[in-house]
Structure 1
Amino acid sequence: MGRALLAEFVGTVLFVFYSSLPTTSSFMIGAAYAALVFAVVHVSGGQLNPAVSIAAVFSGHMHFVTGGLYILAQLLGAVAGALLEVAMVPGVGLGHSGSSPGCFYKGGGVNGVELFLWEVVMTATFIIVLYGVAVALPGHGSLGPVALGFATYALSKAGRIYTGAAFNPARVLGPAFVFLCSWPVIWIYLLAQVLGAVAGAFIACILYETGLGYGRHAVHGEEGTRETLISDGIREPV
């Protein structure tokens, strides 16, 4: 468990850092996520997103204590990733409210309701893809991180001008704590992402017949065992 939590922490540090740079593009965000999931999937399952952990706990594929520890590691990693940006990027400092890369705000003329709906739909879409490639049988084995990278790229491209396309509570909270930004709307992002995670897991369990609370069936079936982003070890109680 210690190694798994360290993997989630390090992976989230690097993902938040690379996804928050002034030079970041939608493709870079997707590529970074895919690469980092590949890097730690054998250790922790490579979630790097509290929305994934929330979905896994809701659907019964992860024990709630383990899920809570994962979320804590991811959030601490997000803060550390934003601090790494402060240390490495010229002109970026603590408390640069409203001007620092990685901060999330409404854009494209959207109102609060539209912001909420965008984040719900994007988060749910991401979770559905994740369950399709990594939880449902037969799944897509080692190609799962590639599919998630493409999903991250597509969602970022679609929603970036409206919400910044977070669909990841860590990406919102890390910069918010370091740069003191996003706080007027942060509750909209977080509520939408939690709801999107739950809705995505619920829909996925129906689509793929994994069944809520049947985590073992989702990974072990007649076709045998295989690697999964929500792996066997992290479903067990700690």
Structure 2
Amino acid sequence: MKFTLPTNGVANDSASPKRSRAVLRWCSEKWRAVLGELISTSLLVLFGCMACVPYEDGAAPVPGYAPLAFGFAVLFNIQAFGHISGAHMNPAVSVAAVVWGSLSPALAVFYIIAQCCGSILGFGLLTWFTPLPLEPDAICSTLPRTGVSDAQALVVEIALSAALMLLNCAVWDPVNGHLQDGVPLKFGFVIAGLSFAGAHFTGASMNPARSLGPALWNGSWESHWVYWLGPIISGVVFTLLYKHVLTKRKQED
């Protein structure tokens, strides 16, 4: 939303109420979407990270639990919040939506703030009702595995996030309007599959907000920048690739 600032006092007096009304109108229209991002991201982190909590005897959960939990949490959130906010749950997806042209930069800022707050809230709830301390083992924190450098982890996160961004673009593409059935299922299974593929390299975050909450509560900031830079690079590069290269070829065909 763009406001033009008047240059004289009289105009400023008359414009201020109009500006205020415009801001209030914008907020009244968009607050539900921002709230949807806050709630959906908190549920994503809460339910996904619940599957990472060790058993009572300290044994680690079955490795496949977390990818399935995150995948099904995404499935649920898209079905429940997709019509409210788009159910991005991910700053990189919101950046991609700005590049695509379906989300304004101003609203994207509010989305990203809500997503980060939602992640912190979701993992905070988990630490509150979990009887075992989560901090010593950095439960649910995304970290490169031993032997994987930050540069290698960055490439892995870019690759995993690229698949997610291309899927988003394919869903946003009006050419695929007749293929929208089962979108929540598609995203849920893709997230689960990508998590299975990349979890033992980087934790398969693909989502800066998903990594933020556990990092904050566990104090595990090692290589945290990887989980912001990688997905956002993919959000920009592969959205541009799809928008200006892949769709152009399709139209030419």
Q: CA 1:169/1:83 → structure 2, altered by over 3 Å: closer, same or farther?
A: same
Match of 1:125 in 2: 163
Cα distance, 1:7 vs structure 2? 0.8
**Whole-Å Cα distance in 2 between the matches of residues 180 and 108 of structure 1?**
18
Match of 1:91 in 2: 132
After TM superposition, the score normalised by the length of structure 1 is 0.81
Match of 2:172 in 1: 134
**Whole-Å Cα distance in 1 between the matches of residues 248 and 213 of structure 2?**
35
Match of 1:171 in 2: 210
8 Å contact 1:109–1:162 — kept in the other structure?
A: no
Write the deviation string for residues 144-167 of structure 1: whole angstroms up to 9, x where unpaired. 221111110111000000000000
The structure showing larger relative contact order (alpha-carbon pairs under 8 Å, at least 6 residues apart) is 1
Q: Which runs of 5+ in 1 are unaligned?
A: 211-238
Cα distance, 1:170 vs structure 2? 0.5
Q: Which has the higher helix share?
A: 2
**Secondary structure, counterpart of 2:175 in structure 1:** coil
Match of 2:228 in 1: 190
**Whole-Å Cα distance in 2 between the matches of residues 33 and 104 of structure 1?**
18
Among candidates 94, 106, 109, match of residue 68 of structure 1: 109
Q: Which runs of 5+ in 2 are unaligned?
A: 1-29, 54-60
Q: How many residues align?
A: 206
Letter in 1 for 2:94: S
Which aligned pairs between 1:43-58 and structure 2 lie closer than 5 A? 43-58=84-99
Match of 1:14 in 2: 43
8 Å contact 2:139–2:218 — kept in the other structure?
A: no
After TM superposition, the score normalised by the length of structure 2 is 0.77
8 Å contact 1:37–1:48 — kept in the other structure?
A: no
Match of 1:27 in 2: 68
Cα distance, 1:58 vs structure 2? 1.9
Match of 1:81 in 2: 122
Identity of aligned residues (%): 29
Which aligned pairs between 1:147-162 and structure 2 lie closer than 5 A? 147-162=186-201
Cα distance, 1:209 vs structure 2? 4.2
